[in-house]
A and B are shown apart, each in its own frame.
Chain A
């Protein structure tokens, strides 16, 4: 089992719809969770971090965390073609100052 798992996609949604991206992790000791966006050929850029169970909203983005289920998700409301990218879930690892990244979910928003 991989430490951080994401569906590779592609996840295809129409413009204006809600995109839902999911991530599961295996280390119960993980306390910090991050979503990064990576456009093709570019480096990852931070979208959001979440540390507590529940929802955290930032503009069109909402991160959801459920530590009991070891599950973190990212919702993108009013999806735009410019949101088309690979979304990486990252989880801190065992109290160490390291992040483990999932392989990413490729999102395609079509007009």
Chain B
């Protein structure tokens, strides 16, 4: 089981602010993912990375950006938050050669 951490767990912020959601894992997993999930709805992949300096956009278009400078760290940034960004953001990771994904606890974002 992966140790994967997300901060902050909850964030309430005003429109137009820049925010960064942090995700870190200590298992040395090569692959990391960001999902967006609205209450009672399915998970949507918004970004993924197969390793350092590798990032790809997911299936759901998102105004957020990500970076992968270190294996263990995969932060997500919103340059200008809007109420439509209100959601839960879940980070996951998996080992090279494996498809099982392990999730962090999530960040609940509320943009006023």
Chain A positions near chain B (C-beta within 8 angstroms): 32, 34, 42-46, 49, 88, 90, 92, 97-104
A90 to B94: give the CA distance in the assembly, Å: 14
**In the complex the two chains form, is B99's CB within 8 Å of A42's CB?**
no
Q: Which residues of B contact A46 (CB under 8 A)?
A: 100-102
With known contacts A43-B106, A44-B90, A101–B42 Cβ distance under 8 A: yes
Chain B positions near chain A (C-beta within 8 angstroms): 31, 33, 41-43, 45, 48, 50, 58-59, 90, 94, 99-106
Q: Which residues of B contact A42 (CB under 8 A)?
A: 105-106
Q: Which residue of B is nearest A4, CB measured? A: B42
A99 to B33: give the CA distance in the assembly, Å: 10
A99 to B94: give the CA distance in the assembly, Å: 11
A66 to B108: give the CA distance in the assembly, Å: 37
Question: Which listed residue, B42, B90, B100, B106, touches A102 by the CB 8 Å rule?
Answer: B42
Q: Which residues of B contact A97 (CB under 8 A)?
A: 31, 48, 50, 94, 99
**In the complex the two chains form, is B42's CB within 8 Å of A99's CB?**
no
